[in-house]
Structure 1
């Protein structure tokens, strides 16, 4: 399993603290999940994809919990403190990847591996969502649909048939990302990554 860093150094702190940062909170996939997603991508590619499709790199794959959007850099210390508290009290949870398909509808610009929602993952997402109020942002109102984006296409995905799967992935970290716009698309910089260290629930499992 990939090593999760518990701290980032001052050198990794984004320059220009007077400029807003485009931030989101997510979970980075572990190595077993990365291998499963690789195999899924290979299978989907056999069905034929739009010519302009672009695969998401390993470094950019993630499961989004909360999108903070443009955020004043002066809020970074507060956000990191809250994330440390959430990570310290939240148990490792698991998610079942059940289908890979155009997302969020039948014809869309994203191809994603979607997970079934479950209570532990929903609780983790709600904690991160509540953090938005601390930085003066209204919490997101859209329904939480956990997924890993695998590819993007400006023309849109319509041809691939949904690929039904049954893979349980381990979600063991809380990661703060900065989204950077580049000529080749968005790139995601990890600002902070923390292991989930809370005790399991009363049933002895967080699945």
Structure 2
């Protein structure tokens, strides 16, 4: 089901496109967080709330609101052509390296996720920006620490999560850290790709 909330008028708005986790995935990530706390973490940690959890597909950054209609139109096209996906969470660890400010649950790369990422890269052109060149590493951020994470050791996982929507988020600065406000949520309704016969 499509949901839509208009962003308030402003000079520039900070945007990104992601996937909102379902309840089953939220419960699994809650379990990972409990395990991380048992294993030891930095003292000053800001845990990601359910409402802020997401898998980033593409970061658009500071964007003129006049581009919203073009972005939303292109997202509707992508969602109508992209099938619902499954992702496999395989580990939770400091991200993107052994010592980092983030602690995240990382997913295995997959052709479907890569295709979705590449399709959404075209949204950069709609905002007059060049697509990012850095490699796409799908993940759910679980916590942030200004002191940085070096513990806990990677927590192995094996969980298949549903990735069945495309959501346009606005990032809003707040005293306790950024809050992510969904502006548009679209279901992925494209045809499934048949499995290759062996």
TM-score above 0.5, yes or no: yes
Cα distance between partner residues in 1 of 2:195 and 2:150: 42
Deviation at 1:202, TM superposition (A): 2.8
Cα distance between partner residues in 2 of 1:106 and 1:30: 28
SS at match of 2:116: helix
Aligned to 2:42, which of 35, 43, 50? 50
Query: What pairs up with 1:37-186 in 2 under 5 angstroms?
Result: 37-186=29-178
Cα distance between partner residues in 1 of 2:60 and 2:7: 16
Deviation at 1:7, TM superposition (A): 3.2
* Deviation by residue 1:79-135 (Cα, 9 ceiling, x = unmatched): 000001100110001111000000000000000000000001110010001221122
> Equivalent residue for 1:6?
2
Cα distance between partner residues in 2 of 1:40 and 1:79: 34
Aligned to 2:26, which of 18, 31, 34? 34
- The TM-score, its normalising length taken from structure 1, stands at 0.93
Matched residue pairs, number?
196
* Deviation by residue 1:165-195 (Cα, 9 ceiling, x = unmatched): 1101110000000000111100000000000
Correspondence 1:15 to 2:15? no
Cα distance between partner residues in 1 of 2:144 and 2:151: 14
Superposed structure 1 runs of 4+ greater than 2 Å apart: none
SS at match of 1:165: strand
Q: Which blocks of at least 5 consecutive residues in structure 1 are unaligned?
A: none
Aligned to 1:194, which of 170, 186, 189? 186
Q: Which blocks of at least 5 consecutive residues in structure 2 are unaligned?
A: none
Cα distance between partner residues in 1 of 2:165 and 2:151: 34
SS at match of 1:123: helix
How large is the Cα RMSD of the aligned pairs?
1.0
Cα distance between partner residues in 1 of 2:3 and 2:21: 18
